[in-house]
Amino acid sequence: MSARRTDDSGIVVIGLGRFGSRLAGSLTHLDHDVLAVDRDPGRVQHWSARLDRVVQADSTEDAALRQLGVADFRRVVVAIGASVEASVLTVLALTELGIPQIWARATSEKHAKILDSVGAHHVIFPEAETGERVAHLIVSRMLDFIEFGDDFAIAKVRVPEAMVGRRLRDMSPVDRYGVMVVGAKLPGERFCYAGPDTVLRRDSVLVVEGSITQVQRFAALE
């Protein structure tokens, strides 16, 4: 077996229904290496012409996942929606492989609790999420993300370590990063609108706005 990947470019998407296929397409559009997996040969054949790597396999079997090299990926999304059993068993198999980030689709609150109990790190509800939005959250450090038309977005991000204890006027995030810090919130405290004299405190969550690319870059700051 090859060594586990240390970069964040590779992502596995298991389940190519409406949500999974759209998510895989969005991740590919964001220039990420995607391995798509589905047990239905018809879906595999359909999406093989649209996605770079699509394979047929039973994702509930950890041996099949190992053979595909899934253990070498840091992030896997379980987008299975038709079978709760297959969804849960797949997450369990991924947990046994030691995948660092397991994102799993839930079809109900009960399903979500089961997924969490067997090892899913992030549970998503496609009925309330779009494939594009989830794709951005998976590949960035953003805590939340809303995309508007004309390449504009608002996101929740943690305060970069280099900015802790500094005033906004001293850093000028609009000039330096192209984003505007709208507000800040500490755990247990109310949201406060940000101004030039706002001091960014450790553990604060910031609300920022700007272009999608600029917001992503700001969220990636250490």
Answer yes or no: is pLDDT of 6 > 50.
Answer: no
pTM: 0.62
Homologous superfamily (CATH) for 10-138: NAD(P)-binding Rossmann-like Domain (3.40.50.720)
Confidence tier at 100 by pLDDT (50, 70, 90): very high
Alpha-carbon distances, residue 221 vs 107, 127, 142, 184 (angstroms): 34, 31, 11, 17
pLDDT at 136 over 70: no
Which residues make up the CATH 3.40.50.720 domain(s) of the chain?
10-138
Does residue 13 have a pLDDT over 60?
A: yes
Boundaries of CATH 3.30.70.1450 in the chain?
A: 144-219
Rounded Cα–Cα distance for residues 31 and 145 (Å): 19
What pLDDT score was predicted for residue 7?
A: 46
Letter for the amino acid at 142? M
pLDDT score recorded for residue 150: 61
Tell me: pLDDT of 144 over 80. Answer: no
69 HSE (CA, 13 A, CB side): 12
Neighbours of 108 (CB within 10 A): 10
Region 152-173: mean pLDDT is 80
CATH level 3 topology of 144-219: Alpha-Beta Plaits (3.30.70)
